[in-house]
Amino acid sequence: MSAPAGGGRPRRVAMVTVHTSPLDQPGTGDAGGMNVYVLETARQLARQGTAVDLFTRTTSAAQPDLVEVEPGVVVRHVAAGPYEGLSKEDLPGQLCAFAAGMMRVAAHAPPGYYDLVHSHYWLSGQVGWLAADRWSVPLVHTMHTMARVKNLHLADGDRPEPLGREIGEAQVVEAADRLVANTGREAGELVDLYGADPARVAVVEPGVDLAVFAPGSQAEARARVGLPADAVLLLFVGRIQPLKGPDVLVRAAAELVRRRPDLRERAVVAVLGGASGTGVTTPMGLDALADRLGIGDLLRVVPPVDRPTLADWYRAADVVAVPSHSESFGLVAVEALACGTPVVAANVGGLPTAVGDGGLLVDGHDTSAWASALGRVVLDPGRRAGLSRRAVEHAQGFGWARTAGRLLEVYTEALARPKELSIHDAERLTGIPPAVIP
């Protein structure tokens, strides 16, 4: 299959997201910021003239083969292994079946149907590598998270990522025509930890839906989510797993209440999300932790909610905590800022870029340091008001249309100047010595 005649923008992109569907509710299972990223960029690409087919694994017999999200965006469910009961760790064994499903779709399409493959996460990169090679089109890959980065910043009790993932990621880095990094820091990690060619790494910052996540009345938002008007709300949003550090907020909140007993009557510590990753096999026990620390009566664990309700939670909060141990970007931070809520975040990964001057960064995860940072926001109305104004201003630079426009530039560049695979690159990718490579 050939690329668009004379290069230019792709007419249709095959996006691959094997392990989690863009239609899944963020905050449940493995669904999170990547799901939002994939769906929102697909929508914006279609609105800018490039159609997108999203390939994801079938996880229920009730799922149709094809779902049209909007004109130009379809989700294609591919059967690969049992529909239910497979964890993300089980999926490497199903990549061949998934790739075969993609090939069957393309076999029924006209020649040259897909101009480019964009894979998300390393599992998808393995499939995207094969599809791009079979269709003779460029491969663009976005890591979202990287094993070598995560293993450098493990939370206590968390499992390191396996060597097989590291090897798989390194292969995709070698194979991709272009690598998309969320921030300059992530671009540096691709180069330093994976040996990526800097000329093939492009920085494309994620976005936020500024129509949904926007400032509003805190009092009205609190009424809608069932909180008292005078509450002091410390909020965590995200998957409940050690990597994301919700326990850091619980410990810091307990320390803040110990320092300021007058907060006890009004403080609410809300954790909004579902168990994920090692948090499923080994529950974090946030309720028991809060009880041991004497704030069991202040903790509320809330299951994932739809986006309008999530925006209300952000508006209702006095501060949003993002205490991740590793974070490629941090969409939660930008969503909160867009609603005018200051963020206190760990100084890791892409969070400095996401937070900007709309919040505070904390080095490390020391309870005392986090309690002090949260206190500086919620106990100083003047500081909080200033952060809130700057938060909204900062978030305005992160619209999804801007992200999609930058992706189109990367696609166009990949189509015009695809990566040339040398015989030595081929040896590293396949393990076959140059003498026997035709």
Are 349 and 186 in contact by the 8 Å Cβ rule? The answer is yes
Alpha carbon distance 187, 316 (integer Å): 35
DSSP E strands, 245-287: 267-272
> Stretch 185-193: mean pLDDT, rounded?
96
Which pLDDT score is estimated for 278?
52
Is the sign of the CA dihedral 181, 187, 189, 194 positive or negative? Answer: positive
122-135 helix and 163-175 helix, angle to the nearest 10 degrees? 40
Q: What angle do CA 232, 312, 348 make, to 5 degrees?
A: 70
Per-residue confidence (pLDDT) for residue 27, from 0 to 100? 60
Count other Cβ atoms within 10 Å, centred on residue 382.
7
Pinpoint the residues of the chain covered by CATH 3.40.50.2000: 12-207+400-436, 218-395
Q: Which amino acid belongs to residue 99?
A: A
Which pLDDT score is estimated for 426? 46
**What average pLDDT does the chain have?**
90
At residue 297's C-alpha, the angle toward residues 258 and 384, to 5°, is: 55
- pLDDT for 183 equals 93
Distance CA 76, CA 117 (A): 14
DSSP string, 58-101: ---TTS-SEEEEETTEEEEEE--S-SSS--GGGGGGGHHHHHHH
Contact between 118 and 141 (Cβ < 8 Å):
yes
Say how far apart CA 262 and CA 266 lie, in whole Å.
Answer: 8
pLDDT tens per residue across span 285-330: 899 999 999 999 999 999 999 999 999 999 999 999 999 998 988 8
Topology adopted by domain 12-207+400-436: Rossmann fold (3.40.50)
387 contacts 215 by C-beta, under 8 angstroms: no
pLDDT digits (tens, 9 = 90+) for 332-389: 999 999 999 999 999 999 999 999 999 999 999 999 999 999 999 999 999 999 999 9
Of the candidates 148, 158, 361, the one whose C-alpha atom is nearest the C-alpha of residue 244 is 158
With bands split at pLDDT 50, 70 and 90, how would you rate the model's confidence at 88? Answer: confident
Backbone angles phi, psi at 139, to 5 degrees: -110, 125
Of 5-9, 77-81, 116-120, 403-407, the least confident = 5-9
| Closest to 297 in 3D by CA, of 244, 257, 260, 259 | 257
Q: Are 253 and 269 in contact (CB under 8 A)?
A: yes
Pick the CATH number of 218-395 from 1.10.10.10, 3.50.50.60, 3.40.50.2000, 3.40.50.10190: 3.40.50.2000
Helices (H), 176-239: 184-194, 218-225
Entry pTM: 0.85
What is the pLDDT, as a whole number, of residue 175?
Answer: 97
Q: What is the 3-state secondary structure (H, E, C) of 14-28?
A: EEECCCCCCCCCCCC
Q: Which two tokens stand for residue 358?
A: 């709309």
pLDDT the model gives residue 328? 86
Determine the pLDDT at residue 438: 36
Mean pLDDT of the 47-76 span: 95
pLDDT for position 31? 64
- pLDDT, one tens digit per residue, over 12-47 is 999 999 988 888 766 656 666 788 899 999 999 999
The greatest distance separating any two alpha carbons of the chain, rounded to the nearest whole angstrom, comes to 76
